[in-house]
Amino acid sequence: MPIPAQRDVEQSKRQLAAWAAPRVDADGDVTLSEFRGPGATGFSNETLIVDASWISGGESHQETWVVRVAPTGYPLFPDPAFELQHAVLTTLARKSPVPVPNIRWFEPDAAVLGAPFFIMDFVDGLVPPDNPPYHVAGWLHDVSPAVRERIWWGAIYTMAELHALDVTELELPPLMQGLGEQLDYYERFLASVEKDEAVPMARKALAWIKDNLPPEEPTVLCWGDARIGNIMYSDQGARLAVLDWEMVTLGSPSQDVAWAWFLDRHHSEALDVPRLEGFPSKAETIARYEAASGRTLLTFDFYEVFAGFRFCVIMARLAVIFKDWGLLAADDAMAQENTVTSLTQRVLDERC
């Protein structure tokens, strides 16, 4: 699905080159290649990959940068919390074993690229694709089951490492804390989407959630969008960098693991395609996480419904954006009927 251009590319290159020159101590100008995208994954912040070259102190330099730009015009989430993403990345780089991209610079002024942005070092690796989903096609079909298994466990170990962190020592900005604040956030999110689109499955899932609230439990730092599609791997399945922190929050450890499981079901079961050989089962996943973390996922089943609810709201928001862009007809039923709503119904049926 082609996405409308978000910027004047040549003007952005000129402004970014001028901005970068003093930061790399260039003798003259910084030369930038054409912008390119990261591939078929992600749908909120704008990501630009660019090669930069310059002369400094009489020596030639060349680097590849990843420019992450705050969303403008059509943000996916009500509050993109862009500065928070930068804070999380820089904090994890200093205080955790979780591998994250190295951030070189942060620019809060929107004058350069039309929105705040930060620049990371490029990591040369592979990301399991969302389009087409990795169980349908893509590079995961060409690797061995053993590599797929390593990829899956890499995501589970990432969650265990993240959940082991002492949040009080991380010195992060305020985060949404616990299920109550998240429910308030997503209920407001749903209400804003419903100004344009009815989302009956989200309402149905929300009603079940409110009727089945679990006991309060200690919170951990949750990745939020926890899944293999947000990790960059080597061709042998080694973790290189953990990406996309815009849904970060404080919550139940079950929240991250259940989200990863729901997303994987979406990329296979919801599309009526089998999971690729090598991907562990739900029981194996829970057991491995619990062994790695020392935590028991008592509320996993609840948080799988919570995952479906949140994803239904996000899909409906995407439908609104696509219609505004003219990529969907005004009467298209994407918000009401899609692979996420069908899977959420299936998950609810499993709970009854």
CA atoms within 13 A of residue 111's CA, in its CB half-sphere: 3
* pLDDT score for 40: 40
Q: What are the CA-CA distances from residue 183 to residues 60, 178, 209, 247, 307 (Å)?
A: 52, 9, 9, 13, 11
pLDDT digits (tens, 9 = 90+) for 251-260: 999 999 999 9
pLDDT digits (tens, 9 = 90+) for 19-73: 999 999 999 999 999 998 764 444 567 889 999 999 999 999 999 999 999 887 7
pLDDT digits (tens, 9 = 90+) for 233-244: 999 999 999 999
Q: What is the domain partition of the chain in residue ranges? A: 9-121, 139-351
pLDDT digits (tens, 9 = 90+) for 98-137: 999 999 999 999 999 999 999 999 999 999 999 899 999 9
Taking residues 161-188, report their average pLDDT: 94
Percent of the chain scored above 90 by pLDDT? Answer: 86
Is 4's pLDDT higher than 60? no
Taking residues 174-185, report their average pLDDT: 94
Q: Fold match between 9-121 and 139-351?
A: no
Residue written as token pair 């739900």: 282
Residue predicted with more confidence, 190 or 75: 190
* pLDDT score for 129: 93
Taking residues 203-220, report their average pLDDT: 96
Q: How many helices (H) and strands (E) does the chain have?
A: 9, 9
Contact 269, 340 (CB under 8 A): no
* pLDDT score for 313: 98
Contacts for 17 with CB less than 8 Å, ≥ 6 apart? 29, 30, 31, 32, 52
* pLDDT score for 138: 94
pLDDT digits (tens, 9 = 90+) for 300-326: 999 999 999 999 999 999 999 999 989
Q: CATH classification of 9-121, choosing from 3.20.20.140, 3.30.200.20, 3.30.428.10, 3.40.228.10? A: 3.30.200.20
Burial of 249 (0-12, 13-18, 19+ CB in 10 A): buried
Is 89's pLDDT higher than 50? yes
pLDDT digits (tens, 9 = 90+) for 286-302: 999 999 999 999 999 99
Contacts for 156 with CB less than 8 Å, ≥ 6 apart? 257, 260, 285, 288, 289, 292
First to last CA, the chain: 37
* pLDDT score for 43: 53
* Tokens linked to 50: 């660019």
Tell me yes or no: is domain 139-351 CATH 2.60.40.10.
no
Contacts for 191 with CB less than 8 Å, ≥ 6 apart? none
Is 144's pLDDT higher than 70? yes
Sort strands 117-121 and 59-69 into parallel, antiparallel or unpaired. Answer: antiparallel
Give me the sign of the Cα torsion angle 161, 164, 169, 175.
positive
